[in-house]
Amino acid sequence: MQNDEAVPITVEFSGGLEILFSNQKKYSLSLPSQDESGAPANVAFLVRHLCENVMKDPRKELFILDGTVRPGILVLINEADWELEGEDQYEVQKGDHIMFVSTLHGG
């Protein structure tokens, strides 16, 4: 995975999602710069990558549903809602900070 064709990024989990990722909140990752089809790596690819290579918990449905992040998880690209950045089509850039936040309901 560590090669010249990799994009160094930071991925962070919050709101309890870290439980699905070995209780580690922050990951420094090198994301392959191209997805399976050779297209530039976007957030959709990052989500698949996380699910297949980083997430140990077999309860994948608590992170992914119908090929995308499940309802109730906000994806934040450099401190902004991904809806402001093109959602899962956003092409991941070197040094990006991508955060996955699960909504909380307790009160």
Partner 1 sequence: MVAVIDSLRQQIATCEATLQDLHQQLAEAEHNQRQQERVLRKTKPLTTDPLDHDMNFGVPDDFRSEVFAVLDHEAEPQEQDESNKLGRWPLEKNEYRRYGRQLIMPEIGLQGQLRLRSSRVLVVGVGGLGCPAAAYLVGAGVGTVGLVDGDVVEESNLHRQILHSSARVGMTKVESAMVALNSLNPNVKLIPHILRLTPETAISIFKNYDLVLDCTDTPASRYLISDTCVLLGKTLVSASALRIDGQLMVLNNPPSPPGDPTGGPCYRCVFPKPPPPESVVSCGDGGILGPVVGVMGVLQALETIKVLTKKATGTEPAPADPPTLLIFSAYSNPMFRSIRLRSRKAKCTACSAQATISPQVLESGSLDYAQFCGSINPIDALTPQERISAESYAKLRSGVNPFTGTVSNKDNHILIDVRERVQFELCSIDGSVNIPFSTVSITPGLSLNPNTPSPGSNDMYVDENDWATQLRQTEKPIFVVCRLGNDSQLTVKKMKELGLNYGGKRFIGDIRGGLQAWREKVDAEFPEY
Q: In 5-89, at which residue ranges do the beta strands (DSSP E only) sit?
A: 6-14, 26-32, 64-65, 68-69, 73-77, 80-81
Helical ranges in the chain per DSSP H? 43-49
Eight-state DSSP code of residue 2: -
Closest among 34, 68, 27 to 48, alpha carbons compared: 68
Check binding of 62 to partner 1 (CB under 8 A).
yes
Q: Is 58 in the site for partner 1 (CB under 8 A)?
A: yes
Of residues 38 and 107, the one with the C-beta less far from partner 1: 107
Q: Interface with partner 1 includes 28 (CB under 8 A)?
A: no
Region of 3-11, 34-42, 46-54, 88-96 interacting with partner 1 (CB under 8 A): 46-54
Of 10-18, 37-45, 88-96, which part binds partner 1 (CB under 8 A)? Answer: 10-18
> Can residue 94 be called a binding residue for partner 1 (CB under 8 A)?
no
Which token pair is 45?
A: 């690819």
Neighbouring C-beta atoms of residue 28, cutoff 10 Å: 8
Binding site for partner 1 (CB under 8 A): 14-16, 19, 22, 25, 52-54, 56-59, 61-62, 65, 70-74, 76, 79-81, 83-84, 99, 101-107
